[in-house]
Structure 1
Amino acid sequence: MNLRSRISLLCLSVTATFGTMIAAPAVKLLAVAFPDTNALLIQWVVTLSSLFILPTLFMAGYLSKRFSRKNILIIGLLLYLVGGIGPAFASSFTLILVFRAILGISIGLISPTFNSLIAENYQGKERTQMNGFVTAINGIGGAIFLSIGGIIASYGWREVFFTYIYAVILLILVLLFLPKFPPIQSHEQGTESSAKLPRFFYVVAIAGGVHAMLYFLIPTNLSLFVTDNGIGSVSAVGYLSALSLIGVFVAGLVITLLTQVFGRMLVPFTLMVMAVGFLLISVAHSIWTAAIAVFLIGFAEGLLFPMTFNKTAEIVPKGSLTSAISVLLSCIYALQFISPLFMKGTQLLFHVSSSRETFMLVAAVLGLTMIGYIPFAITRKLQERQSA
């Protein structure tokens, strides 16, 4: 794959996580514009797309066997533009949610397609680097556009959705530079249908969904948290969301190095970083403390996300990668969708009354998980040394 094709493929990564997050600066404004709408529905403007990604994901294997992957990406990007920009012209909150559903369907076409192409065409260290670059580009692209979104939010919620126009550039890149990538051949289809996914893969997929859900506690709650606690304005929400994605960007650049330095201990290290981030935001009373917190949470997610895809590519047979990535993304997007419900459910279950207390509880659980994972990591490391 030449450099132009590689760049085009990498640029598609911003449609995944960033595609749903870009609406985050508009949450508070939508709550004001639609005062009779339930607060949970307002938050779902950020995560509703994740629910509608799921049906398309389950069709990914079928579509990849019958259509060129390039054509799938083109259709996906056209729907992405409709679903992304559409809410700017909506006159009712219901119609906004309809457009967000269309956005989810488009991401369900794009995300498994470009992720499976990376898994199929790159191996070993090169695959780790590519997944790191995907995370880095996702982070820096999201940071730039969420910063713009934070500025635009001062003009109104409709203007925030116009930032989805950037997808026109992605569509041009795909049309001009991406190879056609023909449908998966019949012998590959047979391999995929006959091979069973390893049991451990499902553990990886669930873990991937959980860390994505925890990360999305930030964009779904940050707008209300910052403004209600007097920490900052609506514009500051855009900057803070962007800063979390800068953390994702930095992590994507250094993951190869950190993998070499920490080895099996990289997972507990990452859990510790995320726990510290949630601890800091639970006690934040200034914009600077909140900024450090969201950066650390983003940095941790920027490590966990590519690690999840790397592990999937390691343990799943090549012929089953498209199906496996679809299952993995299904877990990620399903748990992203229930992120607001997780917040409300945690508060009811543990009788906590504020976001601060919920963030503190999440930090404690992450800390305990880190401690519990360390013996497992040490055991795996010793087994590798013995087998070597």
Structure 2
Amino acid sequence: MEKRKLQVGLIALIIVGNIATGITPALAKIGNAFPDVGRSQLQMIVSIAALLSFLASLIAGKLQSVFSQKVVVLGGAAFLGLGCLPLIFHTNFTFLLIISVFIGGGSGLMTATIPALIARYFEGDARTAMLGKKTGFQGLGTMSMTFLGGVLAVYGWQYNYGIFLLPIVAFVLGGILLPNDPVLKVVKAEEVVSASDGRKFKVANVNIILLLTLAVTLTMLSSTLSNNMALHADIKGIGDSSVSGLALSCYSLGTILAGFVAGHVVKRLKSRTLLVSYLLMASGLLIIGNWHLKVGLVGGALVFGLGYGSVMTRLLYLITSLLKSTSVPVGMSLFSALTSLGFALSPMLMNGVAGLLSDNLATTSFLVALGFALGIAVFLLVTNVEKKLVTRIA
């Protein structure tokens, strides 16, 4: 019963953790409401939130050595809840930028702390299953909040911010259902370190650095898909924005499905989970880049999403299982920050390479990403690194 309450509380927080994306459907209407605001200033509503999410992710691990994990994650939900204030005060653009600071900070604290909370209360297969649910519900939350934000924006851009009432609900549920855990610094001082924990790594270990590097490359591949889908569909005459939107929705669907079945997938693939998942991503990119029909775009995006969700869940499991218990918060802070960094750097790196090969950056970027994914798959096959790490956990 206690585990069920914990799961419900975590899922409520997971769903709203990436709610910041729900602002984007209202940007055009916000621009119309503030005609004196330039395009670059308008985009700061999103970019400031992204920057603060990155910075909050970096400090989340340190905060967990001072405050309990429950306090940190609920603090993040409270900051997100402040995002509903433009429902009342919506005549000042500067105020919207200030609200973006709280939204980004809250999102960063939550996304960095929730995996550490899961690692604290779940072990083995149960951890894989719960991390899979995190991937699934996070994707479901992102997709549904963006859709809901768009629907609300129809009635006025300020109503788009109504979605930030939901973190307040999650804050209440989390406050009631999450256990009152002690501060990690106290745990470190008082708990006897187990023999298995003594065999585990600190964040600076080469194995952890390798897994964090894979996490960066994962979001670089994801960013390539998201940023180039619409342009690729237009250049190749596949369809308009509705088609690319459908393809991106199928990508999200694949991620969600992969998260929910992660436990079953790992039981079957075992130490080949990462290899097969990267090959799935490569297959999706191959289909999108070469099959210039709607079914290719949609089907390739779905396959890519299945691989992406599997890799994300597996990396979270491996990192949290290989780190010493007191190093998990810092590890998850770095994971959250570095994956955000990978997403941001991808356009510059992937398009830079694609520009050396072709003038059609969008389509060529998919093929560059394909080569990248295959290169990682070859590395995993040759080094057999996943099997070695799984053996270390066992």
Q: Give the whole-Å Cα distance in 2 for the aligned partners of 1:355 and 1:100.
A: 30
Partner of 1:254: 261
Q: Percent identity?
A: 20
Q: Residue 225 of structure 2 is aligned with which of 211, 218, 232? A: 218
The one-letter code of the counterpart of 1:78 is: A
Q: Give the whole-Å Cα distance in 1 for the aligned partners of 2:66 and 2:388.
A: 45
Partner of 1:205: 212
Displacement, 1:368?
3.1
Q: 1:131 touches 1:310 (CA, 8 Å); kept in 2?
A: yes
Displacement, 1:130?
0.9
Q: Give the whole-Å Cα distance in 2 for the aligned partners of 1:266 and 1:50.
A: 30
Displacement, 1:201?
0.2
Q: Give the whole-Å Cα distance in 1 for the aligned partners of 2:240 and 2:30.
A: 15
The one-letter code of the counterpart of 1:315 is: L
Q: Give the whole-Å Cα distance in 1 for the aligned partners of 2:86 and 2:233.
A: 27
Paired residues, number? 380
Task: Please say which of residues 333-342 and 236-245 is displaced more in the overlay.
Answer: 236-245
Partner of 2:14: 13
Change over 3 Å in CA distance of 1:54–1:283 after alignment to 2: same
Q: TM-score with structure 2 length normalisation?
A: 0.80
For structure 2, which runs of at least 5 residues remain unmatched after alignment? none
Partner of 1:174: 174
Q: 1:34-60: per-residue Cα shift (whole Å, max 9, x none)?
A: 896369x95x86665343223323322
Partner of 2:308: 301
Change over 3 Å in CA distance of 1:325–1:376 after alignment to 2: same
Q: Give the whole-Å Cα distance in 1 for the aligned partners of 2:235 and 2:152.
A: 20
Q: Give the whole-Å Cα distance in 2 for the aligned partners of 1:273 and 1:21.
A: 26
Q: Give the whole-Å Cα distance in 2 for the aligned partners of 1:283 and 1:24.
A: 30
Q: Residue 342 of structure 1 is aligned with which of 331, 339, 349? A: 349
Task: Please say which of residues 20-29 and 98-107 is displaced more in the overlay.
Answer: 20-29
Displacement, 1:178?
2.2
Q: 1:62-105: per-residue Cα shift (whole Å, max 9, x none)?
A: 3223324333233211221334775994765x876654443221
Displacement, 1:380?
6.6
Counterparts of 1:244-323 in structure 2, within 5 Å, are 244-283=251-290, 285-323=292-330
Change over 3 Å in CA distance of 1:12–1:233 after alignment to 2: farther
Q: Give the whole-Å Cα distance in 2 for the aligned partners of 1:145 and 1:66.
A: 32
Q: TM-score with structure 1 length normalisation?
A: 0.81
Q: Give the whole-Å Cα distance in 2 for the aligned partners of 1:257 and 1:162.
A: 37
CA RMSD of aligned residues (A): 3.9
Displacement, 1:2?
3.4
Q: Give the whole-Å Cα distance in 2 for the aligned partners of 1:232 and 1:181.
A: 52
Change over 3 Å in CA distance of 1:56–1:383 after alignment to 2: closer
Partner of 2:134: 134
Change over 3 Å in CA distance of 1:216–1:136 after alignment to 2: same
Q: Give the whole-Å Cα distance in 1 for the aligned partners of 2:260 and 2:77.
A: 26
For structure 1, which runs of at least 5 residues remain unmatched after alignment? none
Displacement, 1:304?
0.9
Counterparts of 1:7-46 in structure 2, within 5 Å, are 7-16=8-17, 18-23=18-23, 25=25, 37=39, 42=43
Counterparts of 1:147-162 in structure 2, within 5 Å, are 147-149=147-149, 161-162=161-162
Q: 1:282 touches 1:355 (CA, 8 Å); kept in 2?
A: no
